Chain A
Amino acid sequence: MNLRFHLLPLLLALPVAAQAAAVGNKAADCTFPAFLNGDGRQSLKEFFGQPVMIEQWGTH
């Protein structure tokens, strides 16, 4: 069995990745899902002019 055929459906199901930034480079824009505690801004570029800390964390 070709492993590629097993992995393909999984890869297609993944969200399109935002372009990963390297430290020192401009971060690519991205749109966030609806925020809890938001202020109506949903994309990274709308926060231009303010420092933004993004933290990935887990509920498990």
Chain B
Amino acid sequence: MPSAIRHHRELSAKGLVVILVEAQGADEPTLEHFLWKTFPDNECFSCVGTSVPLPASDGIPHAGLIGVDGTLLWAGNPLENPKQVETLIETELAKVKKGWGDTADARKVRAALYGKRDLGAAAKLVAALPEGDERTALQGEVDARWASAKQAIETLKQQGSWLKAQAAAKDLLKGVAGHAEWTTEATTIVAGFDTDEAKAELAADKKLEKVVKMLRDKNLEGAPKALQAVLKGGAETKVGARAQKLLKALETPLGKS
């Protein structure tokens, strides 16, 4: 766990994604309470147990590194051979920055798409390529990234993370500059945060962020009262539902954990 948290802290800005999957049957409230109590600095993607595409293991911790192109590069105990894993991560992060592929065109498109997160530039580069398999494949990657980015904003809103959703929408708008159709759509998405309903969600989320900061500062005792204050003004919002979930988590006994 601490090494995963460190990897996330040091390398997520360069593109590394760290996903923590609890594998001993904890439910969501127990997991959330445990994480806040034990690892308040954890900012990795974290979820309850689920089936993941890694080779079977007879123990934990068990981990796998999936490369930029979806290939499983390594699997094993993350506490063994940490140097080997770090070298593999560095190699993959270099691909994020410089792009990868058999041709200079593919590398250029991927560097724009994944390294700079510039969907507009990537789309423009793809449009200039000759018709063929490479262009079709790269167009598919650009389209998938655009669709995923839009869906992620909706998911964040549904999950009650409106500040993150708004930031993602602004990033998306910035990232599609030069692509007229996507700019129009992204502008509409950003404008969607200016409605009364959205403003109520954002206001509630600002209050909730203060509670999250309390938790990061290890103030678990004061958090429930602060959460009640969030719920007083915004119980009916999506953010309120998230606050309610967090309150339930903090009230969940950890037992032997």
List residues of chain A with CB under 8 Å of any chain B CB: 15-42, 44-60
Query: What's the Cα separation between A28 and B64 when bound, in Å?
Result: 13
Whether A23 and B75, one on each chain, are in contact in the complex, defined by CB atoms closer than 8 angstroms, is yes
Whether B110 and A49, one on each chain, are in contact in the complex, defined by CB atoms closer than 8 angstroms, is yes
Whether B96 and A19, one on each chain, are in contact in the complex, defined by CB atoms closer than 8 angstroms, is no
B165 on interface, CB distance cutoff 8 Å: yes
Task: List, in ascending order, chain B residues with CB within 8 A of A54's CB.
Answer: 19, 21, 52, 54, 63-64, 66
CB contacts under 8 Å to A, within B43-87, are 43-48, 50-57, 60-75, 78, 85
Whether B61 and A20, one on each chain, are in contact in the complex, defined by CB atoms closer than 8 angstroms, is no
B180 on interface, CB distance cutoff 8 Å: no
Q: List 7 A-B contacts (CB under 8 A).
A: A25-B71, A44-B66, A49-B141, A52-B19, A52-B65, A53-B65, A54-B64
Q: Select from chain B the residue with minimum beta-carbon distance to A60.
A: B24
User: Given A22-B72, A34-B159, A49-B141, 18 more contacts at CB 8 Å?
Assistant: A21-B75, A32-B47, A37-B43, A40-B168, A41-B155, A46-B152, A48-B141, A51-B66, A51-B88, A51-B96, A52-B66, A53-B17, A53-B89, A54-B66, A56-B62, A57-B1, A57-B20, A57-B61
Query: What's the Cα separation between A59 and B24 when bound, in Å?
Result: 7
Q: Chain B at the A interface: mostly helix, strand, loop or mixed? A: mixed
Whether B7 and A53, one on each chain, are in contact in the complex, defined by CB atoms closer than 8 angstroms, is yes
List residues of chain B with CB under 8 Å of any chain A CB: 1, 4, 7, 15-24, 26, 28, 30-32, 34-35, 42-48, 50-57, 60-75, 78, 85, 88-89, 92-93, 96, 110, 113-114, 141, 144-145, 148, 151-156, 159, 161, 164-165, 168, 256-257
Which of A30, A36, A60 lies in contact with B256, CB distance below 8 A?
Answer: A60
Contacts A48-B70, A53-B4; A59 near B114 (Cβ below 8 A):
no
Whether A59 and B34, one on each chain, are in contact in the complex, defined by CB atoms closer than 8 angstroms, is yes
Task: List, in ascending order, chain B residues with CB within 8 A of A36's CB.
Answer: 31-32, 35, 45-47
Question: Which 6 pairs across A and B sit closest by C-beta, in order of nearness?
Answer: A40-B152, A51-B92, A49-B114, A58-B24, A40-B155, A56-B23
